[in-house]
Amino acid sequence: MSRPTGRVLTLLELLQSGGTRTVAELADRLGVEGRTVRRYVGQLTDLDVPVESVRGRYGGYRLAPGYRLPPLMLSDDEALAVLLGLLLRRRAGLATAERTANETASAKIRRVLPRYLARRLDDLLEAVAFTERPGDFDTPDAAVLLTLADAVRHRRPVALRYTARDGRRGDRTLHAYGIVAHSGRWYVTGHDPGIGEDRTFRLDRIADARILPGSFEAPTGPGPAQRLLSGFATAGYRHEVTLRIHGTVEQIRARLPAGVAVLREDEPAADQDRAAERWRRVEVRAERLDWLPPALASLDRPFVVESPDELRRLIAEFADRLASYARQA
């Protein structure tokens, strides 16, 4: 929403609060000049909003008696998009004033939503987890997302029509544990009773989701976000890399997060030990290796490549390129 449009809506909200508002007061509240206030009033009247001009010493503008905005009508997709956007903004870390505006906007929208849709959105907000501070995310299909949220909340099996990475389409049954937002995409993680294994599906590849009869027990152990990251880190890829890195857990995770690397038996549990610098075993699975040399260089910690030999060669070539650039300078 552009700033002028936002100010026009703010002007309408001020006038709806009742009474006569002077031009000076409105200009101060909107942060504009008096002539801009008059232009905004003209835009409201063009939209058939009955703004009355009151003359005299205490004159200004007011709404015609009895006028109210029509009820806010949002489709499922629109309500989902707005509330998800507000949720992501809240998770991104807002200043106090922005956080207050975010919460009041959410409350206003929720008050005018149909009860059934409000319940479904409550299910969604309880089912969603984030692996990191939210940034820009793709927009999921509202029907699929709300159906999965209902399945997670009430522990109901769900049938999925899914397109795999290789383009093959098929039907899957899932006991959904949770919905996870990760690296700009949305995922659902759960147990596939057909193969007896945990699975993760991308929401943008789900063409249809349908609740099935029955129920299942909630799993114990890690939450959906941690299950997703662990699944990514241990999934089958072209290359399996084993490293030993000297540093703290936080230093290593800064360049090799949980969705990329697994820290094995050397990783301590106590917070004070996590902050200690020591040699730690790190395992990485990747389709390509070319991103690892710059990642390890930016880590700026001593490391040893145990395998594969190809990574050692790429690191040596990367070091040679850096040295040649330094000589040219």
Mean confidence (pLDDT) of the chain: 80
CA neighbor of 90 nearest in space, from 78, 109, 104, 76: 104
Out of 4-8, 85-89, 219-223, least confident range: 85-89
**236-328 is classed CATH 3.30.70:** yes
Interval 282-303: pLDDT, tens: 998 887 889 899 999 999 999 9
Distances from the Cα of 207 to the Cαs of 75, 160, 191, 203, 324, in angstroms?
A: 20, 8, 19, 8, 51
Residue 31 predicted with pLDDT over 80: yes
CATH topology of domain 3-63: Arc Repressor Mutant, subunit A (1.10.10)
Residue 34 predicted with pLDDT over 80: yes
Interval 165-223: pLDDT, tens: 778 888 999 999 988 888 778 889 889 888 888 888 988 899 999 999 999 988 887 88
CA neighbor of 26 nearest in space, from 103, 67, 39: 39
Q: For the chain, which residues make up each domain, given as ranges?
A: 3-63, 76-230, 236-328
Residue 105 predicted with pLDDT over 90: no
Q: Enter the tokens of residue 129.
A: 């987890």
Would you state the pLDDT for residue 81? Answer: 67
CA neighbor of 225 nearest in space, from 119, 100, 125, 132: 132
State which H helix or E strand residue 172 sits in.
strand 169-182
- CA dist 241 and 46 (Å) reads 65
CATH number, domain 76-230: 2.30.30.520
